[in-house]
Each structure stands twice: as C-alpha cells, then as structure tokens.
Amino acid sequence: MTYQVIIPAAGQGKRMGAGKNKLLLELNHIPVIIHTLRVFEEDELCEGIILAIHPQDEEEFKSLLEKYQIKKVLALVPGGKERQDSIYYALKAVKSDGIILVHDAARPFILKKHIHRLLDTAQITGAAIIGVPAKDTMKTVRDHMVMATVERSSLWAVQTPQAFHFSLLYRAYEKAVKDCYIGTDDSSLVERISHPVTMVEGDYDNIKLTTQEDLFFAEAIVKKRQGSF
Ligand code: CTP
Ligand code: MG
C-alpha cells in the first residue's frame, strides 16, 4: 500500500528568530527542508509529495528541489495564514483517494520504519498518529497554582506524521472550516467528527525544530546517526 504526503513548509519560523524560514537553516550542510523531503523521496511507498510553501520562499525552494534532485513533489501550493490553512489548500491539490500523511517540514528526523508502522495502522483504522509516552510528571496549572497532577500513563506527546484515509481527513477539514475551528494538529479535526484515532509509538528523536536550542539537539541527533557521538 502506498501513500501521498502533505508537507506544510509555509511558516515563518518566528520562534526560531533566524530572520528567515527556519527550514532553510542547514544541518550538516544540508537545509532542514531537504532532510525532511529526502526521507519521503527515498521511501518506496511514497507516491508523491504536496508541499505548501510561503510565496516569498518559492524561488529558493524550487532551486533546492532542483539542486538536491527531489523528484516526488507533485504540487507546490501557496500556504495560508495558519498551518491548518496551508494543509487545507494542499488537500485540495491531492488527486488520490488512498492514504494521506501530513508531516511537518520542521521534523527532519522521522524514520522510514515509523512511517511504515503508521501506514500499516492507518490502513486498518483509517486514522493513526505517531507520538511518544510523556516522560515528565505533568500537572495542570492556573495562575502559577498547581490544580492537579495528571496521571502520566495516559499522556502522550504527539508528533507528525499523522495518517488518514483521504476522504476522512478532507471531511474533517471541511467541517473545521465550516465551524471556524482551528486545531493544533490534524488528528484533533478528525476527533471532532467522532472518528477513532490510533496512537502509534515512534521515537523521541523525531523533534520539531522550533526554537534556537532545538538546533543543538538536532546537531546531536545528526552525530548520533552518523555513529560519531
Ligand atoms: N506551517 C505552514 N503554514 C503556516 C504555518 C506553519 O505550512 N501558516 C508549517 C511550518 O513551516 C512547519 C509546520 O507547519 O513546517 C509546523 O509549524 P511551526 O513549527 O509552528 O513552524 P512556523 O510556523 O514556521 O514557526 P513559528 O510558529 O515559530 O513562526
Ligand atoms: Mg507556527
């Protein structure tokens, strides 16, 4: 079973404070966006990539796709104001009714074995997401006062990719648009239309590059994978 993947890359990277889209920063001399795209380029089960980009990055992204020989990009779509808007526009460019994955361009360390584990589950259940069990003790806090300690065994940190039957995800997005609902991930939109979502265990290296300190962790993960750490 194959899949297509939507990669939202149209953010501005404001929290990274690099003065440009964080996806253009380099890790091991290769731009972050290329690290992410290569995982899918090299996955034999990936049929195609729909990439949402900010119009101001269009020329640079196009030349990077050329330079690094990324051939699976089926469409480059202009992103929107929010991540959810970018994915909605990308969904409209999908021309297949199979499994669709959504994966943040800012998570360059996703492994093929985890993509395939997610895919296998989504084929059966229609909706699956990847995440890891919470390691820290978690509490709810209001005005700096602890309200409660949440039972940790039921808490998972959610990552991407998230995988769905295309028609299910599209229906979830249409409903969110109709209700003016903005969720923090794709699964939350599917949960709202009462479809069960299965959690698949991934790994802690699949970080999202958000702030400057994440770049230090990222360098460490690169070294670990090169076997030089
Ligand atoms: N994204 C997008 N369209 C947007 C906002 C975000 O396609 N309007 C993408 C980003 O490029 C990123 C992913 O969604 O790959 C996750 O978003 P985030 O980590 O928040 O990245 P940015 O929005 O770029 O960063 P910031 O919120 O710090 O500005
Ligand atoms: Mg953002």
Q: pLDDT tens digits, residue range 192-222?
A: 999 999 999 999 999 999 999 999 999 999 9
This prediction has a pTM of: 0.97
Measure the CA–CA gap between 127 and 190, rounded to whole angstroms.
8
**What distance in angstroms lies between residue 148's CA and the mean position of ligand 1's atoms?**
31
Strand stretches in the chain, DSSP E: 3-9, 26-27, 30-31, 46-53, 73-78, 99-102, 127-133, 138-142, 145-150, 156-165, 198-201
CATH of the domain at 99: 3.90.550.10
Is the pLDDT at 96 greater than 90? The verdict is: no
Q: Which domain holds residue 18?
A: 3-225
Peptide bond into 8 cis (omega under 30): no
Site to probe by mutation for ligand 1, drawn from 16, 88, 104, 214 as the one with most ligand atoms within 8 Å of Cβ, is 104
Ligand nearest to the CA of 82: 1
Q: For residue range 128-175, list pLDDT tens digits in order.
A: 999 999 999 999 999 999 999 999 999 999 999 999 999 999 999 999
For residue 79 and ligand 1, the question of a CB distance below 6 A is answered with yes
Other C-beta atoms closer than 10 Å to the C-beta of 1 total 10
Q: For residue range 12-65, list pLDDT tens digits in order.
A: 999 999 999 999 999 999 999 999 999 999 999 999 999 999 999 999 999 999
State the total domains in the chain. 1
**What distance in angstroms lies between residue 131's CA and the mean position of ligand 1's atoms?**
19
